A and B are shown apart, each in its own frame.
Chain A
Amino acid sequence: MIWGALAGGFVGTLVLTTGLRAATELRLTRIDLPFLLGTAFSADRIRARALGYGLHFLAGLAFASIYYAVFRAVDEASWGLGAIFGLIHAIFAGTALVNILLPLVHPRMATPFNAADSTPLLEPPGFLLLNYGASTPVAMVIVHLLYGAIVGEAVFLSG
């Protein structure tokens, strides 16, 4: 059921966000997805972060819906298959989504074409988000595996 996927998406995003936060506290990475998303709309750090958390959860639900569509297409859902989707998701995020697509649409994200004399810019993520720390890809893969497994299991349980 789609509701199972959405519930899984919510819980999965919760785990993903908490996991990344823990990784930053452990000094493994400087990635902060809510901050990156929120600063696309606000220069106020507090407002940006609050907005970013909301957007991040919406994105989590949207990705869970896409996972659900694929589960339906292959007529199978399990935590293992969900984890494989999560791995693909992490690789996509690290190579294209956050690395290339986000800087293109983010008004404050630096690109190789910027001269930063008019507005402040955010540090670009780089390939596999390595600019935010050498352990960032590992952290991203782990939290996305968890996210995918949770969504897969939730879809499986909800029939």
Chain B
Amino acid sequence: MEAPSRSDGHAPIGDYAAIGDGRTVALVASDGSVDWLCLPELDSASAFAALLDPQRGGCFRLAPDERYTVERRYLDETNVLETTFTTGSGAVRVTDAMPLPLVGLAPDRELARSIEGIGGSVAMSWSVEPRFGYAGGNTRLGTRADRPVATAGSEALAVNSWGAGDPRISDDAIRGSFVAEAGDASLIALSIAHATPLVLPARREVAERLSKTIDFWRQWAARRHYGGPWREAVVRSALALKLLIYSPSGAIAAAATTSLPEEIGGVRNWDYRYSWIRDSSATLDALLRLGCPAEAEAFFWWLMHASQLSHPKLRILYRLNGVPRSPERELPLHGYRGSRPVRIGNAAGGQDQLDVYGHLLQTAWLYCGAGGTLDRDTAGRLAATADLICDLWRQPDSGIWEVRSTPAHFTQSKMMCWVGLERAGRLANDGRIPDEGLGRWQQAREEIAEFVSERCWSEERRAYMRFPGAEDSDAGLLLPSLLGYDDGAGGERLLSTARHIQATLGSGPLLHRYRGDDGLPGTEGAFLACSFWLVDALARLGQLAEAERLMDRIVRLANDVGLYSEEMDPEGLEFLGNIPQGLVHLALINAAVTLEEERGRR
């Protein structure tokens, strides 16, 4: 790979790899710069945000002084990144990880960069430029026990280096330089404290934590059930999801970043460091199908606890600690390649979206199907959710894509209401939830099916439309067929809709979500999760060979380390939107497992 190039200080979005520890995630560009890190949690303020503002955001650079080429990979089946820089005079291997606190008195968070000279002699430079509070905090640099530290309020970060030159503080940065000869080993570790005194680690313990962290990831990956042809992509997706799982609660963040744009220079820049109810059924499905029962259990109960306060209504998204509020505000940052505003918080949290109720009941049904049991209170709440669907399904909503235009009767939302009532009926018939509302749920389900069949189907286009009277379809309509929506036509209408979506929203293997108005200026790229939904839908609707071919093409679109962002520009195949995007990786896993299952049925 050629030396990476930056535009106005910005690396391409597809240039980032993610490392993390189950609490937060750092993004590392292929030129060795850590450009994104929020502390102490994934949804806290950033200490490094060069991703969104190269001048002010802060970063941790580490690279050779001379021109180089670069090769990257994750160490096999781990979330530990290995970057090899090759220069005219030699080669250096950098191993980046956020070690888990498995040895000794570990810091609150830790970011370790191990540097090995593997040939010749390479002059290296590094600089740590922390800017706490999304670069708005009063970051001070100083020393403790001869180690450089940066502090701001309750946050602190120490730079511990061994064999990486004498660190010096200059120009709001901590810098060092050294020459890596073949056989040399250096280590730079950031130890991070939140509301506690800093822990200044010993080299041996950092190295030991790094080694045990590699073992942990390998053991975790080895326990995932999937032996099909896309194992590498599936395991990478599982590892990416594990990075997005917030370990104290079990919630899964939609992505690790905020405000990476859906259109370069545009306004579609959102904070995805929240957990969306919309993603819940795909999340539980993927976790169960991959053999992650502990994560599935934690996620389900996080979902039930988080939604308890607003019961029976659901918020669209929740914070990772379960708090329902997500007030949106703008930050005075430059934005990725000038894409402003940079937002934190997410105003979509207060929208009405009917599909979330279907997802909640589908999630509960999957959980029970895997042997989970519901307590009486939870069972009652799920039955009340089904009752609420009966009350709400006739109302317009903002739909799965959280459009900011006038609410409409989105077909996908109605279908998901149908799925929710169907799952509630099954749960009641199995004695999992109270069955007093069964008759009402059945009746509402029939009314929804009639509404969808008569008002949302276009005989002319042979497809379900986005909403009654619309002239276009919506890739979100692929999703109900994956979740068991039965239109009474034996799948014929669903397959025909999938074909229509492919023809009208497709661009090569990529799909746009929709083309109609969504209340926002500008455009967006193709939505990568939709491509995997199409694979999944085609496989379930009997088009296995075509689905496999499409899967091959989309898997090849991942970046060099196997990650996806939310969207992709169909022309230049450049990543757009937040990264790594959980929904895309969930969709990849579910599509791969479906293909394997469908192949097994033949």
Contact = CB atoms under 8 A, between A and B. Distances in A.
Nearest to A43: B105
B205 interface: yes
A112 B197 CA distance: 17
Interface in A40-99: 43-45, 48
A111 B106 CA distance: 19
Contacts of B158: 123
Interface stretch (A8-16, A27-35, A141-149, A151-159): A27-35
Interface centre among B158, B194, B202, by most chain A C-beta atoms within 10 angstroms, is: B202
A32 B195 contact: yes
* Interface secondary structure of A, over-half rule: loop
B144 A110 contact: yes
Nearest to B104: A43
B489 interface: no
Nearest to B191: A120
A93 to B, nearest CB: 15
Interface in A105-141: 108, 110-112, 114, 116-126, 131-133
Contacts of A133: 151, 153-154
Contact of A118 (B145, B160, B196, B204): B204
A123 B197 CA distance: 6
A55 B76 CA distance: 45
A121 B199 contact: yes
B200 A121 contact: yes
A125 B199 CA distance: 12
B381 interface: no
Given A30-B156, A110-B144, A112-B145, A117 B195 contact: no
How many chain B residues sit at the interface, stated as a range, is: 20 to 34
Nearest to A115: B146
Interface string B186-225: 0000000111111111111100000000000000000000
Interface centre among A24, A116, A123, by most chain B C-beta atoms within 10 angstroms, is: A123
A114 B147 CA distance: 11
A17 interface: no
Interface in B226-243: none
Nearest to A39: B105
A120 B195 contact: no
B528 interface: no
Contact of B154 (A27, A120, A121, A125): A27
A35 B160 CA distance: 21
Interface string B111-152: 000000000000000000000000000000000110101010
Contact of A120 (B153, B155, B199): B199
Contacts of B151: 30, 133
Interface of A: 24-25, 27-32, 35-36, 39, 43-45, 48, 108, 110-112, 114, 116-126, 131-133
Given A110-B144, A116-B200, A123-B156, 19 more contacts: A24-B196, A25-B154, A30-B197, A31-B197, A35-B196, A35-B197, A43-B105, A45-B101, A48-B105, A116-B201, A117-B202, A120-B104, A120-B105, A121-B145, A122-B105, A122-B197, A123-B149, A124-B144, A133-B151
28 contacts: A27-B153, A28-B153, A29-B154, A30-B193, A30-B197, A30-B198, A31-B197, A35-B196, A43-B105, A45-B101, A45-B105, A45-B106, A111-B145, A114-B145, A116-B145, A116-B147, A116-B202, A117-B202, A118-B204, A121-B199, A123-B144, A123-B145, A123-B158, A123-B193, A124-B144, A124-B145, A133-B151, A133-B153
Interface of B: 101, 104-106, 144-145, 147, 149, 151, 153-156, 158, 160, 162, 193-205
